[in-house]
Structure 1
Amino acid sequence: MVRLSNGLIGALNVITLMLSIPILGSGIWLTQRAATDCERFLDVPLVALGVFAFLVSLAGCVGAYFRNSCLLWLYLVVMLLLIILLVCFTLFAFVVTNKGASHAVSGRGFPEYRLGDYSHWLQRRVETAKNWRSIRSCLVQGKACKSLQNQNQTWDQFIDDNLSPIQSGCCKPPSACNFTYVNGTAWTKPPGFYSSDLPDCNSWQNDPSTLCYDCQSCKAGVLANLKHDWKKIAVINFVLLIFLVVIYLIGCCAFRNDKDVHC
């Protein structure tokens, strides 16, 4: 039983150790090669995650191989903290993304999004000027609307298109503006147009670097996209939690079997 538990925890941590190397390498590569704010958002978390996974897995491998109670104890404490943090993050992600839904528009094949439909916590994240400058820069540099600009669709083709949340919110004016369609990213405003009720209509510009990037609908589209991604993350977290709990239980078994071994 001693050899089995130690061997199994060692094997599982070797797998985790190997997985941490490409994560760490990706973070270091982005740090050196990042050209956009999108990439810079990822480099620090990737490096931190890679280093953390590498050190924890290394401690687990060494502790299991040498049957070192001190390393196994430290490993189990860190693993328990990681499991608790992962559970808390998953629950938090579910709570803050529980609100928010798309709105069907009559005569349109795509929905539109409203910032007020999302949780206040998420709204504050995108309404903070510093945060939105970074997100906006990411959208512009990533050319989020370029595909619509290059399609040259007719009006009938456009209204039947399946736009993504970001395309719907950031690349066109809201349907309520009733602007004249030219192409996916070009619309004609009535001369001297201004609306106190529809601020997004006032923010719209045909300039590719402006479009509706300063609109509330764009922020809502970003949150809709974020909500969709976090749902996927929740599934991945659930699978990872099962994996971590299994490793933790095996580690507890190995620690119990080796408790007579001193540091």
Structure 2
Amino acid sequence: MRTSNHLIGVLNFLTFLLSIPILGGGIWLSSRANNTDCLKFLQWPLIIIGISIMVVSLAGFAGACYRNTFLLRLYLVVMFCVIAVLIGFIIFAYVVTDKGSGRSLVNKGYLDYYLEDYSGWLEERVATDGYWGKISSCIRDSKVCRKLARNFNDQPETADMFFQRKLTPVQSGCCKPPTDCAFMYQNETVWMPGTGLIANNPDCTKWNNDQQELCYSCDSCKAGVLASLKKSWRKVSVINIIVMIILVIVYIVAYYAYRNNRRMDNDESYGEARMTKSQPSAFHL
């Protein structure tokens, strides 16, 4: 019996430790939401799941230490629900970030992003005017485009040097016009219309050299945010899948340890001998 309790205590301590990377992933997404991705509701499910696992693990640990059957039973029920929610969140994250990717360009180190490559719930959430006004304001306040400027030996970056840079999706989509617009490079955030034909792309007319405007109203900027979200979510989802698999294994072991504990409580109370016969024959004086 003591061995079962010790095992359940160890397993609860392990689940407590496993809650840390989940909570950390939510906090990381929160920092991304404030500085890069600018979509500020996606991190809360992970933070809530991480805190829930942490609290439930502490309850299960206390139940194992004090042999409190109610706390152990509560731990198993709530942990089952938390694991189910975590699995659902992982599936949801992959479904909403399934479509869309950047388009490679000839002799360019960066990718271009187009909103028509994306679809589904997340695309509607980002592209809607009510949401995009807040997102674009967040991107502008983050000064992500201003940080593009580079100098080499007190000389500004040349066009050839810029074209070979590895830009983030938000930098590529929001801080420069789409490549098919054929604008002429002046510096990282100043581009002039070329002499050739401009592509049939509405973003070409939305570009503005005003540093408060740039391409913040462009569909390419919205696509860049979606690509950045997809990249962030996929990184966190890999960690979540690993943690989820370990949690399921730990839960199964804890369940069987709990059943063994209950069986021992029912068959033989602590400090009492087990009866040798279920029905004693005759009463002897």
Whole-Å separation in 1 of the counterparts to 2:36 and 2:223 = 22
Whether 1:155 aligns to 2:155 is no
Whole-Å separation in 1 of the counterparts to 2:108 and 2:35 = 36
Q: Is the 8 A contact 2:145 2:171 kept in 1?
A: yes
* Equivalence for 2:134: 134
Gaps of 5+ in 1: none
In our comparison, the structure showing a higher alpha carbon Rg is 2
2:223 to 220, 223, 243: 220
SS in 1 for 2:107: coil
* Equivalence for 1:173: 177
Whole-Å separation in 1 of the counterparts to 2:233 and 2:210 = 31
- Specify the code of the residue in structure 1 equivalent to 2:191: W
* Equivalence for 1:259: 262
- Specify the code of the residue in structure 1 equivalent to 2:112: E
Q: CA RMSD in A?
A: 3.3
* Equivalence for 2:282: none
Q: Is the 8 A contact 1:72 1:251 kept in 2?
A: no
Q: Compared with structure 1, are the counterparts of its residues 47 and 245 closer, same or farther at alpha carbon in structure 2 (3 Å cutoff)?
A: closer
Q: How does 1:205-216 map to 2 (within 5 A)?
A: 205-216=208-219
SS in 2 for 1:182: strand
Whether 1:188 aligns to 2:187 is no
1:234 to 212, 233, 237: 237
* Equivalence for 1:62: 62
Q: Is the 8 A contact 2:96 2:122 kept in 1?
A: yes
SS in 2 for 1:161: coil
- Specify the code of the residue in structure 2 equivalent to 1:88: G
TM-score when normalising by structure 1: 0.81
Gaps of 5+ in 2: 267-285
Residues paired across the two proteins, number: 253
* Equivalence for 1:123: 123
- Over the matched positions of the two proteins, sequence identity in percent amounts to 46
Q: Is the 8 A contact 1:83 1:244 kept in 2?
A: yes
Q: Is the 8 A contact 2:49 2:82 kept in 1?
A: no
